[in-house]
Copies of this chain bind each other. A is one copy, B any other.
Amino acid sequence: MLIDEVDDTVQRAHQAHLVARHVHPQTRAEWLGAVAAALEDHRDELVELAQLETHLPEARLNGELNRTVFQLRLFARELVHGETFDATIDHLDESWGMGPRPDIRRTNVPLGVIGVFGASNFPFAFSVMGGDSASGLAAGCAVVHKIHEAHLQLGSRTGEIVKEALAAAGAPSGLFATLTTVSAGTALVEHPLVRAVSFTGSARVGRILMDKAAKRAEPIPFYGELGSINPVFVTRNAGQVRGLDILAEYVRSFTLGMGQFCTKPGLLFVPRLGSEETQALVTAVSKAAPARMLTPQLAAGFLDGRATMADRDGVFELVPGGSGEAPAPALFATTVDDVVHDPRIIREEMFGPASIVVQYEDETELIKAAALLEGQLTATIHGEDDDDVEDLVDMLESRVGRVLWNSWPTGVTVTFAQQHGGPYPATTAASATSVGTAAVRRFMRPVSYQSFPDKRLPPALQETNVWGITRRIDGQWMPAQMEAK
């Protein structure tokens, strides 16, 4: 794709955004709803294309499409409910403590055109009409999406369906567009009218694009989800009470989808394994059926990383795993002592079906190990009711975006309280989430209106709550129905 075409696409997107930014939230919600309906209408065609290009099973792809469609509808509900706007009204107050307060009101406005880089591992949920694109449209932005080369046909067809649905629903032409090729992606990050970029992919490529965004004459936010190892900690008690169950669940979780999840548990901290446990692990991993990975490049990168890990001092191959484009899952074992000696063991992500069991002698070692972790999307504790893990939770809270108890990090619910993010290198913006309703905030910014006549205020801020949204008034959150009273 030529740079001129990128410019043309972004210019058209900008014009579309100028229309979209002012529509009633109900209208924008209807656009999202139309896209959701269109994806469902084309389900069979899309899932078939996705199967061909990603080698993922049909049931998984159908589930992912469900989630994608649900996400669009949840964002639409949030828009109509109004939380998206964070509307805040402070009335004139002559007695305000620092001196008279003028009438001042704040609402979120969309950033403009945003660039979204699709991921390889979620052909629906983190791709053409995945969470980032849905967030951008919900925010009132125009979205230019760089299709991941791992599923070009699916991406291109999804883009057509989305564009048709938006057009039929009356959205301005150009509000959503797709691009292909690496050079077009780079041009997108550098285009002056692009106001933010989101990205899900490797730490290497993410950092290159992040640096480009930071070096612009006018730097822009770069929301990158780069990588995460997702440690799981099993307490001594939990190991004693249900160690074999945990190990079986662990193998299921890290081999799920050939380990190609950003939330794959890449580390399991456990009390030193007995022979029964070791045998159970080896058997379970050896039985896990290999499947083709998403792309030959990913498979090659995975095998390289796995080989590097296998060579590290103190790392022992429990199950060596297979090779080729459908490598059988692998399992390594090490100890906290070895990790302390070489923290790279717990800092290098193997994106694919491999994980490391890290054995400890004493629970206090868990804190020591956790302190060596870099930023993570998730961390998990398996514990019993009377375990004292306060210090561990505390340590993890300082390093991750989501902490789980007696469950598994794969499977990320789309909801109000979700935080799918975390300190660098898990993401490039720890205050942001790429899943859940709060994801929309990434693509808006606040604007205040001071001493404005009511009729000139944006509808979200007019005294009569014309949009019927939740607002914070003089410091108090007011659901629309309470304002009406």
In the complex, A22 Cα to B111 Cα: how many Å?
35
Q: Are the CB atoms of B413 and A430 closer together than 8 Å?
A: no
Q: Is A417 interfacial (CB-CB < 8 Å)?
A: yes
Q: Are the CB atoms of B451 and A81 closer together than 8 Å?
A: no
Q: Is A393 interfacial (CB-CB < 8 Å)?
A: yes
Q: Are the CB atoms of A98 and B419 closer together than 8 Å?
A: no
| Residues of B close to A219: CB separation below 8 A | 210, 214, 424, 428
In the complex, A227 Cα to B211 Cα: how many Å?
23
| Residues of B close to A405: CB separation below 8 A | 449-453, 456
Q: Is A105 interfacial (CB-CB < 8 Å)?
A: yes
| Residues of B close to A445: CB separation below 8 A | 401, 421, 423, 430-431
A residues 417-444 in Cβ contact with B at 8 Å: 417-419, 421, 423-425, 428-431, 433, 438, 441, 444
**Min CB distance, A358 to chain B, in Å?**
22
Q: Is A468 interfacial (CB-CB < 8 Å)?
A: no
| Residues of B close to A458: CB separation below 8 A | 397
Of A98, A398, A417, most buried by chain B (CB within 10 Å of CB) is A417
In the complex, A64 Cα to B432 Cα: how many Å?
34
Query: Taking CB as reference atom, which chain B residue is nearest A101?
Result: B413
Q: Are the CB atoms of A218 and B424 closer together than 8 Å?
A: yes
Q: Is A57 interfacial (CB-CB < 8 Å)?
A: no
Q: Is A274 interfacial (CB-CB < 8 Å)?
A: no
In the complex, A73 Cα to B98 Cα: how many Å?
11
Q: Is A414 interfacial (CB-CB < 8 Å)?
A: yes
In the complex, A394 Cα to B458 Cα: how many Å?
10
Q: Is A221 interfacial (CB-CB < 8 Å)?
A: yes
**How many monomers of this chain does the complex have?**
2
| Residues of B close to A418: CB separation below 8 A | 104, 106, 448
The listed residue (B111, B215, B421, B447) touching A446 by CB distance below 8 A is B421
The listed residue (B404, B444, B472, B474) touching A431 by CB distance below 8 A is B444
Q: Is A112 interfacial (CB-CB < 8 Å)?
A: yes
In the complex, A315 Cα to B252 Cα: how many Å?
72
In the complex, A396 Cα to B112 Cα: how many Å?
13
In the complex, A392 Cα to B215 Cα: how many Å?
31
Of A81, A97, A215, most buried by chain B (CB within 10 Å of CB) is A97
Q: Is A479 interfacial (CB-CB < 8 Å)?
A: yes
A residues 173-218 in Cβ contact with B at 8 Å: 210-211, 214-215, 218
In the complex, A104 Cα to B425 Cα: how many Å?
24
5 tightest CB-CB pairs across the interface, nearest first?
A419-B448, A70-B98, A214-B214, A477-B477, A106-B417
Given A81-B475, A423-B445, output 13 extra A-B contacts at Cβ < 8 Å.
A90-B416, A90-B417, A99-B413, A102-B413, A106-B417, A106-B438, A211-B214, A218-B424, A400-B447, A401-B446, A403-B447, A405-B452, A431-B441
